[in-house]
Amino acid sequence: MKILLAENIRFFRKASGLTQEQLAEAMGVTVGAVSKWESGATTPDLSSILELAALFAVSVDVLLGYQLQNTDARQLAEKIHALMLDKRYEEALRESKKALSKYPNHFDIVYRSADLYHAAGIEQRNHELLHQARGLLEHSLLLLDQNTNAQIDEAVIQIQIAKLYAAAGETDRALTHYKKHNWAGINNGRIGTLLSSAGRYEEARPYLSASALEQITELIQVTIGMSACAAQTGGPSEAFEVLSWMRQVLEGLKIPGKVCYLDKADVFLLHLQAQLCADAGDLPAAKDCLQKAVRTARRFDAEPVYTMKNIRFYHEKEPLLLSDSFGETAMQGLENSILHGTAESSQILREIWREIINESE
């Protein structure tokens, strides 16, 4: 068990917006004493520790910063989680109450209990459970130094707190919380959806549009990765189908007869499909994909669009410049990708490319 008292006095003092001088005055000690506490040179006596905990509104064990390694507590947290997954809510809630009574400042217990109260509160439409879940999550933020799960961090917990406000019908508080913790636009979609459900459509559009752009970009990247994995585990056919699905998604977002930035993305996806066909020895299919890529690239380069213009359902207040590393133009990107390819079948693809270019000249 490790005690982090010095670090926590400094952390909670700063979190409370206090200088060392102000803390010293509140505690009735010298500034030098506070400085020694925070450096670990001396340790406050028991009465001072109790007073500090009350001043910072935390429990003594949180102030001491116990790094709990209690196997029993972790097993209880896992049991609560398992019961929740089986939707045995009443039993899970009983176990949670006992666990919280025994381990009120164990991160796993507090966080898993919050998760349970959230799930049960949603399904049972019980606002009291939702309120308790929010309180547990807020408490878990003070215990994050105990967390060993890389999938859980402050951003995750703050988003869950905002979700609880929304679930309880506290729309304005949910929006405020989402916006306050909207790191890198992570909550744009949630904010937009909540505004839309509240009938605040003009406010919602920019958030939803920004989220849509992020999701489209992310989905293209994820699909390329999925295709690469499928090529190694499921074969070229499965990889080809993954890319075909993505191309269908992009096609559904294009305004018919209009050139848009998604056409350039389609050129890259067609090139990947041509490579897969060449790898599988299906040269006619490889040529067909490259011919489609060339036609699309030339159409895009004739009147390039580097904003979200001509993309369905997207509404932008101001034009947003889009960029990529594929190439300055779609044709340049396509040509460079083919001529500098390193796959075993790249030479075959280069021969097909030259054949297509010669036919079109």
pLDDT in tens, 151-207: 999 999 999 999 999 999 999 999 999 999 999 899 999 999 999 999 999 999 989
Q: How far is CA 229 from CA 224, 225, 346, 359, in A?
A: 9, 6, 19, 34
Helices (H), 125-258: 127-141, 154-167, 171-180, 188-197, 201-233, 236-253
Q: Report long-range pairs for 209-216 (Cβ below 8 Å, ≥24 apart).
A: 209/308, 209/314, 209/315, 209/316, 210/185, 211/185, 212/313, 212/314, 213/308, 213/314, 213/320, 214/185, 214/188, 215/189, 216/253, 216/262
Percent of the chain predicted with pLDDT > 90: 73
**Residue 254 reports pLDDT greater than 70:** yes
Q: Which two tokens stand for residue 148?
A: 């060993």
Alpha carbons 265 and 251: distance in angstroms, whole number: 11
Whether residue 286 contacts residue 352, with contact meaning beta carbons closer than 8 Å, is answered with yes
Does position 347 have pLDDT exceeding 60, yes or no?
yes
CA distance 9 to 26: 14
Mean of pLDDT values over 13-38: 92
Spatial contact of 271 and 293, defined as CB atoms under 8 Å apart: yes
Amino acid at 174: A
pTM score of the predicted model: 0.71
> Which residues make Cβ contacts (< 8 Å) with residue 64, sequence separation at least 6?
3, 4, 5, 8, 49
DSSP 343: S
Q: Which tokens in the block code for residue 76?
A: 């209880």
pLDDT tens for 275-306 read 999 999 999 999 999 999 999 999 999 999 99
Closest CA to 346 of 269, 268, 275, 293: 275
Q: So what's the pLDDT on residue 7?
A: 87
For 322, half-sphere exposure in the C-beta direction (CA atoms, 13 angstrom radius) is 22
With contact defined as beta carbons under 8 Å apart, do 255 and 312 qualify?
A: yes
Average pLDDT over all residues of the chain = 91
Please give the structure tokens belonging to residue 320: 């947003």
3-class state of residue 311 by DSSP: strand
Reduced to 3 states (helix: H, G, I; strand: E, B; else coil), residue 254 is: strand
Contact 205, 188 (CB under 8 A): no
Query: Which DSSP string corresponds to 183-211?
Result: GGGTTHHHHHHHHHHTT-HHHHHHHHHHH
Q: How confident is the model at residue 342 (pLDDT cuts 50, 70, 90)?
A: confident
Euclidean distance between CA atoms 57 and 121, whole angstroms: 27
Does the structure show a pLDDT above 60 at 1? no
